[in-house]
Structure 1
């Protein structure tokens, strides 16, 4: 097949389209397997700005490409009409056109247009492409090494941001504790901490400022503690008791004032009962207790959801999610930390993710999101809006109608070929 590419005259050419066309005309193209490039592009999707319907369109196009076209001198050209893509994605043709344009301007695909604008591929008897017009994924092959580095940097940045958020929360609590311990030496510390947390800076910068403030406060508190002199005022002079010979049981029993002990115990119990009956229901404070009740409700929902869901089941049912996030679901902490990456993969808003965690708990929300992402990866046509699907599952969980274990067992069975369609 010819190594030149052409953009039809009816398209409005942009610098991104020109750059992708140049990549498509490269001669030195590294070999890469279809499964490897598909996984790489899905991992790089958040960095490239590919989400929602664009992600769905990319997944369909990658699935329609032939594995042999990704090796040697082959060109992975996909010939499918906009109307058929619109039917697959349940979107309008104009939406599909915009999605393909985003893929081209992201530098992973290029237009290979015919003179009539139709898309078709002619192959010889060996299956090699003789003439092909459509969407060419040669730029993705050319940029494979670059995309691997981009994905590695993105994952390192996510981990650094996560560590920074943890440090901010941990050190802020430590600063608050030191302020309570030494209020006179830390008069302006709380306001400085609030100013740092209010600033619209990146997480790493705020974490560094909080670390610096923590070291400063720790130095002040340590200096105040070292200069404090203990006074002996009010101490009681006590004669040391050095008789270590134990008394016999009979002597000890004779010295016990049993009646006084009973009177004291009964009086204490009576006082406790009297105090308990004095508290009326309408006099119980509602602030912290209401918050704790709300937290107990969330924990109860999370326990109900995860009561029959084990880490082993999640690990077996969600292999694609673990491969794309580079996180193994071997602990609940790892599952919870992967929620931020998974939400970006499917385009779930930050507010939607926070709302889910608040309603059902971080681990239950992460397990539900992992199930949604796994389903969307395996069958994008089934879940066209993963964000809405996640919210619907959260609502079902609140109603007590969510059968998460059934979905996970179904995913695990399909993985091991126990269910045949």
Structure 2
């Protein structure tokens, strides 16, 4: 028998709401588990346009659903009033109403309204739903395979975008290095690189164009190298006396520290110029001095934040965050690589993320981001605005009052105690 659903007459019905209602009437629905569907919907939140308070409301609703209702002929219906949700999220009832509408229009839940507008669930002795009114998550069960495929495609595209962005930065730096090594070709190479960056909008296309230009650069460098070897034929070999000990340890680390600025976006079409400005050996001047001084400041802040935060502590303390982004924090490259996904999961704007990276460094910002995501996943009621929480932690890091290791040790201890029970 087809399951019936009802939408109250006071609701302003849209095609998306009707589509969710039709999916809620399906009978042939796949089995899943509460933990699987909760994790999947959280990963799909950026795709579905769910963030901020809506994400918080969704997390509460999923937590209130019963595990058995996600299997067999069960109907995962959640009955909770808007007033109670407003109390939990510290928002107004009008805001909660809008959040519920976004969840329904996203196609993962449907309205199941009673004639009186009240929400309640009556169950039989065996626990099955005899009669229920509230938010029905049957559409999420119906779309299980579709949502899973969308999440996989989204993560694949996100990884490809990140790889292309890194390639653009890496190739831009290599071309600038070649411009300084071969001044006679500097103008043409830099102009060609700027043309590629300015004419092509997509990261992948920019990386492909720079790859071709870089191949030409390498070919010319090899030609010059062979020409040099031929001109030196017959010369008496003399062993060079080279002092391999750097005069100053900070000078030897100058190139490594410059990598902190790799995260800066090149959307303004000047990736090549930025790579040139970030290069430590660039022409000295007042602006360059200020940039280097700012870099040292960021490096000092990042060093202070991560001094007692090994990556193993992040791995143990942020288990939920790793499951949510499907990345194991085996190394710092994994933490940084998952930053874009974590940023979207907590609803943090790209501008706020770039600002945080510019203030505390890429690795420290990624560690803070993972900690904020972990806390928001464990207890959504504790952090009403994860994006604001991230910015506040960055401010504390700049002030020197952030003790990130204490937070992570607390999360790790809580995780260990939970598993021991």
Per the normalisation by structure 1, the TM-score is: 0.83
Structure 1: gaps (5+ residues):
242-283
- State the distance in 1 between where 2:232 and 2:145 align: 72
- Tell me the CA shift for residue 2 of structure 1: 6.6
**Any idea what SS the aligned residue of 1:155 has?**
helix
1:185–1:220 Cα contact (<8 Å) kept: no
CA offsets 1:22-56 (integer angstroms, 9 cap, x no match): 11111111110001100010011111111100100
2:2–2:26 Cα contact (<8 Å) kept: no
Aligned to 2:316: 316
1:54–1:99 Cα contact (<8 Å) kept: yes
Identify which range, 109-118 or 410-419, moves more after superposition.
410-419
Aligned to 1:158: 158
Aligned to 1:280: none
Aligned to 1:99: 99
- State the distance in 2 between where 1:200 and 1:13 align: 42
- State the distance in 2 between where 1:72 and 1:419 align: 29
Identify which range, 142-151 or 204-213, moves more after superposition.
204-213
Aligned to 2:14: 14
CA RMSD of aligned residues (A): 2.6
- State the distance in 2 between where 1:403 and 1:35 align: 32
Aligned to 1:332: 332
Aligned to 2:396: 396
CA offsets 1:174-211 (integer angstroms, 9 cap, x no match): 22233333444464332232233234622222222222
- State the distance in 2 between where 1:329 and 1:232 align: 51
**Any idea what SS the aligned residue of 1:366 has?**
helix
Aligned to 1:373: 373
Q: How does 1:18-417 map onto structure 2 within 5 Å? A: 18-185=18-185, 187-199=187-199, 201-219=201-219, 222=222, 286-417=286-417
- State the distance in 1 between where 2:206 and 2:4 align: 50
- State the distance in 2 between where 1:62 and 1:390 align: 25
Assess, with a 3 A threshold, how the Cα gap between structure 1 residues 232 and 343 changes in structure 2: closer, same or farther.
closer
**Any idea what SS the aligned residue of 2:135 has?**
strand
1:2–1:131 Cα contact (<8 Å) kept: no
Could you list the runs of 4 or more consecutive aligned residues of structure 1 that deviate by over 4 angstroms after TM superposition?
Answer: 219-233
- State the distance in 2 between where 1:296 and 1:232 align: 42
1:317–1:412 Cα contact (<8 Å) kept: yes
- State the distance in 2 between where 1:138 and 1:200 align: 44
- State the distance in 2 between where 1:83 and 1:184 align: 72
- State the distance in 2 between where 1:229 and 1:88 align: 75
- Tell me the CA shift for residue 229 of structure 1: 9.6
**Any idea what SS the aligned residue of 1:26 has?**
coil
2:2–2:25 Cα contact (<8 Å) kept: no
2:2–2:27 Cα contact (<8 Å) kept: no
Assess, with a 3 A threshold, how the Cα gap between structure 1 residues 200 and 13 changes in structure 2: closer, same or farther.
farther
- State the distance in 2 between where 1:223 and 1:418 align: 63
1:186–1:217 Cα contact (<8 Å) kept: no
Assess, with a 3 A threshold, how the Cα gap between structure 1 residues 15 and 212 changes in structure 2: closer, same or farther.
farther
2:368–2:404 Cα contact (<8 Å) kept: yes
Identify which range, 370-379 or 199-208, moves more after superposition.
199-208
Assess, with a 3 A threshold, how the Cα gap between structure 1 residues 303 and 13 changes in structure 2: closer, same or farther.
same
Assess, with a 3 A threshold, how the Cα gap between structure 1 residues 314 and 186 changes in structure 2: closer, same or farther.
closer
Structure 2: gaps (5+ residues):
239-283
How many residues in Structure 1 have an aligned counterpart in Structure 2?
A: 375
